[in-house]
Amino acid sequence: MALTERDRAILDFERSWWSESGPKELAIHDRFELSTNRYYEILGELLDSPEALAHDPLVVRRLRRLRDRRRRERTEGRTAAERTTP
């Protein structure tokens, strides 16, 4: 499935959002007219897309690493908490 203009714009935004002034959530709403939750749902789907990887491999790989690390931290945190629960 080919990337849409919005898909490419989201990937481009993720490459450089930090250089903009103001909170990221506000920039997401202003630029894409999406709620933050919906934006991250779309972004999550894009990260699993071979077309997104082909469009911007550095951004997609970086975001995949962050996602995977957060998942590991959540899983390991729960596991550690479960071990300490009587």
pLDDT of 86 above 80? no
Range of the domain at 77: 5-84
For residue 20, CA distances in Å to 6, 12, 23, 40, 48 come to 19, 13, 8, 18, 26
How many domains is the chain built from?
A: 1
pLDDT tens digit sequence for 15-33: 998 887 889 999 999 999 9
pTM of the model: 0.80
Q: Give the CA dihedral 18, 69, 73, 32, nearest 10 degrees.
A: 40
